[in-house]
Amino acid sequence: DTEVTQTPKHLVMGMTNKKSLKCEQHMGHRAMYWYKQKAKKPPELMFVYSYEKLSINESVPSRFSPECPNSSLLNLHLHALQPEDSALYLCASSQGAGGTYEQYFGPGTRLTVT
Amino acid sequence: QKEVEQNSGPLSVPEGAIASLNCTYSDRGSQSFFWYRQYSGKSPELIMSIYSNGDKEDGRFTAQLNKASQYVSLLIRDSQPSDSATYLCAVDGGSNYKLTFGKGTLLTVNP
């Protein structure tokens, strides 16, 4: 069973749309992450939430807006995206925040911006 | 800037052989090292973590860490076609507690 779930699996949106990606972890972890991954590239960190507070924002454009309603849920609100934002968006969780902890990824949301 | 270097491959090995994947890192302060497997179109899957110098074995996988040489490797014994994937090396950032990924090595196991 996948302990980090993401919805939707696929999303196609226009540049004027507003949509949200959702992530839920069932591992009791206290840190959650959003990554963006382009084809044949490694994941790029976007945001880190620790104990439901934003602790890292990797200078991501404001058209991406994260939200952490509770320690198990993480959302990424999307607005006025550009075609170059098309990518695989990955959610991950870990016991604590930072690179010393094992991070477990969800299956991802494949986003296409038209 | 902290860097994690991997041979991009592709690395091609016959079925049943040992596949050896290598990774070097630049930050001497790094303490935690991870190997992820990523099948095409799928998300990364954690397969090994290692924190101390030496070898760590888990089934057909062995991770090796040498902090003095700033080198971490992954050996896959009795390679199977199902092992064909991109393997990502990830290293903690030391004082910067981000996880830094290498670009990945594409492994192909030929039947």
**Number of C-beta neighbours around residue B11 at 10 A:** 16
Confidence of residue A78 (pLDDT cuts 50, 70, 90): very high
Q: Using CB atoms and an 8 Å cut-off, which of residues 86-105 of chain B contact chain A?
A: 88, 90-93, 96-104
B86: enclosing H helix or E strand: strand B85-92
Instruction: Give yes or no for residue A50 having a pLDDT over 80.
Output: yes
The pLDDT value recorded for residue A2 is: 61
The pLDDT value recorded for residue B78 is: 98
pLDDT < 70 stretches in chain B = 94-97
B92:A98 CB<8 A: yes
Which backbone phi and psi does A76 adopt, to 5 degrees?
Answer: -130, 110
The pLDDT value recorded for residue A27 is: 94
The pLDDT value recorded for residue B72 is: 98
Q: Encoding tokens for residue B18?
A: 């040992």
Asked whether A93 and A27 are in contact (CB, 8 A), the reply is yes
Question: Average pLDDT, stretch A64-86?
Answer: 95
The pLDDT value recorded for residue A98 is: 80
Which 3 state secondary structure label does DSSP give A27?
Answer: coil
Count of pairs with CB atoms under 8 A, one residue in A, one in B: 54
- What residue type is A17 in one-letter code? N
What's the pLDDT tens digit per position in A7-36? 999 999 999 999 999 999 999 999 999 999
Residues of chain A above pLDDT 70, percent:
98
Please choose, from the candidates A42, A75, A31, the residue with its C-alpha nearest in 3D space to the C-alpha of residue B87: A42
Which residue did the predictor score with more confidence, B109 or A57? B109
Distance CA A73, CA B109 (A): 38
**Test the B interface: residue of A9, A50, A88, A105 with most B CBs within 10 Å:** A105
